Structure 1
Amino acid sequence: MHIIPDTKKYFAMTNKLPLKNLLKLSIYFSIGMSFFLLLSATMEDESFLGALNRVINVFILLNLMSLGNIGLLLFTEKRKHGNELFYDCFFYTSSLLMSILVILGLYFINTELVDRGYTTAPTTPLRVKGDVVYFYLSLQGMLTNGMLLLLQNFIIVQDANNKAQLENSLLNTARSEAAYQLLLQQIHPHFLFNALNILKSLIKKSPERAEDYLMRLSNFLRVSVSNNKDGIATLKEELKLSMDYLEMQKVRFGSALNFTFNVIDAENSACVLPVFSLQPLLENAIKHNELTVATPLDIEIIQQGNWIVVTNNIQLRSTIDYHTGSGLANLAERYRLISGDDIEIRDNSLFFSVSLKILNDEDCNHRR
């Protein structure tokens, strides 16, 4: 599962502004406002040329303001680096001044065009006269730009939220993959050492049993080294892996190890579990408890409703031969990352059990 390179590539892009969405907003908002003004002019019986002149002016005004804000955003974002408050104030002040300059500039250009006869005066002229018109237009420009800023900020915040959710999902997946890979690395050395010694002994004593043991070992190792990108396996696959593991351990411990399976939904392909979720529980039971013919270790894998329960009797060893360093914490973390749920652990000093809720394919976060 090659997730780290993709994650790094994504993280390098997280600080970029959503320019494409901001430009789309500029165009769509300008077209929408222009269409609204055209309808308004039609209902007011304004002349076609007058309506067209108003629509063109509004379209140009909104796009210039929007592009000006985008330019200021690019300028300030590159220079923040810990001075967020200063550059935020700089951005909003510059944006408001820019909106005043744009609307006054368009007003002067239109006035000049009317004076030279290139276009006609608007049918509904401004109601304010004299120098007050500049204050009126400035206020109108700031209010219009204020609406644009609200929409642009919404786009930026929404984009940042989407990136944060994706970043969190990528980090969770990476953590789950790291925990899974660590588990596999810890399983192999000790297990392979014992397995190969047992296989060597069986080849001499019972070739048929050696062949069966080799097939189970082959299946077990194939699953353990496979590149499971989803991090889940069907319930049937997990039970098959557990059966192979226990059968191999049965060869080693003989009648000192007993196990039973009672799972109703074993053939249901929609039922899934995190990959390698049952085998570590079986390994821990064997690792931490005494196994003798007089006091055998009894392991049960049963289904209780929507839960798979792994139970063993407790007869703790005085010393432990080896320690994987992963244990239940690893499994609990992987299970939580994939399903959002917790495993249930019970210990009454006589029996130890771990319960995992059976998941449906759509319950896992990598499918969402």
Structure 2
Amino acid sequence: MNISSLFCNKPTLRPNPLKLIHSYRVRLIGILVMALLRFSLFGTVTISTEGKLSLAGVLDNILLASLLIWETSRAVVLYTHRRYALQLSIKRFSLEVLGVFIANGVFYSAQLIMHEGLQALKKTNPLFILYGLFYTFLYGVLVAAFYELLFYMEAWKKATQEAEELKKINLLVQLESLKNQVKPHFLFNSLNTLTALVEKDKAQAVKFIAELAQVYRYLLQSNEKELIALVQELQFTQAYFFLLRTRFGEGISLRVEVEEDLHSCLIPPLTLQILLENAMKHNQISARKPLIITIHGEAGEWLVIQNNLQPKRGIIASNGMGLANIAAKYKILNQPEVIILKEVDFFTVKVPLIKAEAA
């Protein structure tokens, strides 16, 4: 599979709900459709009672009324979405319905007063007033429901796109990780280490094989998962570090100090493996100048991965894909941004911990 093709597919031509929400054409068509509906009701009643339908009545009670009902109801929906953008709750919908009722009630009352006058209005049958208010409110609800549908379509489209993008990033991370693991020099070094252990310490060689198997088992099992429990990621990291420790000896050390109450939190799989690889790639590793990597929690919301800085001599080629993929995955998951700090003596990465109930 060509990885670049994942990001270079031709876009499918689909209506953009967000553009439809602000489209003047949609608004004009909607107002005309509402005018036809009102004409079928108001016009029929007027003709049956008065025997004729005046041009002023058409312009005022049909076209102007349709315009005001549509625009006021649309304004209420847009306002509630700005005010409660991320809330899909009964409270938001209740406030929206109430806003549509008040806005159209004010318009309908003003229309009655303008046409009938206060004195004549007092003599009007209350049922007639309530009926008019009801069907004016009903039109407003239909307009609000139409725009809610457009917002829902936009949210669904965005969620679908983010899900597809997350799948692509997952695939890239998995392939990058597997490439780092199975590339010839890694296998060569692992087999060399194993050969030396078999000759010197058979018990240690058996443990090395077991940890190596655990590393590959985790890589295969995490392929289809977007998130994994921190405790599982830490267990995998310990197994992976055992291979590194066996190879580099005193040249590398790992300190894990993560509170147990954080173990149930979730993170994207292979996050720690990528960060360990990144630290090894850019720093010297020797018994005289050991690379020290620490992992600990912070404020119950962050996982902090830090290593001492001792850059390798010369220029180290890097495409930055590892850190970029981690940051992109958290962004798509609507989590806080990954924090990357490069100081004089330390390089620190802070990744958000995702609560299991919020996933």
TM-score, normalised to structure 1's length? 0.62
Quote the offset at 1:284 in angstroms.
Answer: 0.7
Match of 2:185 among 173, 177, 194: 194
- The structure 2 residue matched to 1:204, chosen from 187, 195, 207, is 195
Distance 1:252 1:320, change over 3 A: farther
- 1:272 matched to 2:266? The reply is yes
Instruction: Specify the code of the residue in structure 1 equivalent to 2:39.
Output: I
**In structure 2, how many angstroms separate the alpha carbons of the residues matched to 1:270 and 1:292?**
35
Question: In the alignment, which residue of structure 1 is the partner of 2:243?
Answer: 248
The alignment status of 1:168 with 2:128, answered yes or no, reads no
State the distance in 2 between where 1:226 and 1:14 align: 38
The match for 2:286 is 292
Instruction: Tell me, in whole angstroms, the C-alpha distance in 1 between the residues paired with 2:195 and 2:33.
Output: 86
Correspondence for 2:148: 158
Residue 104 of structure 1 deviates from its aligned partner by 4.4
In structure 2, what is the Cα distance between the partners aligned to 1:348 and 1:138?
A: 71
Counterpart residue identity of residue 206, structure 2: E
Pair 1:260-2:199 in alignment: no
> Where does residue 31 of structure 1 map in the other structure?
none
Alignment-mate amino acid for residue 355 of structure 1: K
The change in CA–CA distance for 1:94 and 1:168 in structure 2 (over 3 A counts) is closer
CA 1:335 to 1:135, structure 2 compared with 1: closer, same or farther past 3 Å? Answer: closer
Separation in structure 2 between the aligned mates of residue 93 and residue 170 of structure 1, nearest angstrom: 33
Q: Partner of 1:337 in structure 2?
A: 332
TM-score (norm 2): 0.63
Task: Tell me how far apart the structure 1 counterparts of residues 355 and 25 of structure 2 sit (CA, whole Å).
Answer: 51
Say whether the 8 Å CA contact 2:212–2:239 is kept in structure 1: yes
1:302 maps to 2:296: yes
Q: By how many angstroms is 1:239 displaced? A: 0.8
Deviations 1:118-164 (A, max 9, x none): xxxxxxxx5xx454689769966665895355332211210111121
2:226/2:269 contact within 8 Å kept = yes
Alignment of 1:222 with 2:203, yes or no, is no
In structure 2, relative to structure 1, the CA distance for the partners of 1:343 and 1:136 (3 Å cut) is closer
Deviation of 1:315 after TM superposition, in Å, equals: 0.8
Matches within 5 A, 1:1-368: 85=24, 89=28, 92-93=31-32, 95-97=34-36, 99-101=38-40, 103-104=42-43, 126=49, 129=50, 131=52, 143=65, 147=136, 149-192=139-182, 193-205=184-196, 206=198, 207-226=202-221, 231-265=226-260, 269-306=263-300, 307-319=302-314, 323=318, 325-363=320-358, 367=359
Is the Cα–Cα contact under 8 Å of residues 339 and 359 in structure 1 kept in the other structure?
no
- Structure 1 letter corresponding to 2:191: K
**Counterpart residue identity of residue 157, structure 1:** Y
Measured after TM superposition, the shift of residue 237 of structure 1 is 0.9
8 Å Cα contact 1:104-1:138 kept in structure 2: no
Checking the alignment, whether the CA contact within 8 Å between 1:297 and 1:312 is kept in structure 2 is: yes
Q: Please give the alpha-carbon distance, in whole angstroms, between the structure 1 residues aligned to 2:178 and 2:270.
A: 13
Cα distance in 2 between the residues matched to 1:229 and 1:130: 71
Rounded to whole Å, the distance in 2 between the matches of 1:140 and 1:183 is 62
Superposed displacement of residue 229, structure 1: 5.0
Task: State the alpha-carbon separation in 2 of the partners of residues 220 and 345 from structure 1.
Answer: 26
Q: Distance in 2 between matches of 1:238 and 1:227?
A: 10
Kindly provide the CA deviation profile for residues 312-344 of structure 1, in whole angstroms up to 9, marking residues without a partner as x. 111101246664641322212212322521222
From the superposition, tell whether residues 315 and 103 of structure 1 become closer, same or farther in structure 2 (CA, over 3 Å): same
Structure 1 unaligned runs (5+)?
1-7, 17-79, 112-125
Deviations 1:276-306 (CA, angstroms, capped at 9, x unpaired): 2222111111100011121111111123332
Kept in 2: contact 1:14–1:163 (CA 8 A): no
Task: Give the 3-state SS of the residue equivalent to 1:219 in structure 2.
Answer: helix
Q: 8 Å contact 2:231–2:264 — kept in the other structure? A: no
Distance 1:268 1:305, change over 3 A: closer
2:79 maps to none
Give the Cα separation in 2 of the matches to 1:335 and 1:87. Answer: 36
Cα gap change, 1:134 to 1:312, in 2 (>3 Å): closer
- Measured after TM superposition, the shift of residue 359 of structure 1 is 2.4
**Secondary structure of the equivalent of 1:359?**
coil
**Could you say which structure has the larger radius of gyration?**
1
Residues 310, 353 of structure 1: 8 Å contact kept: yes
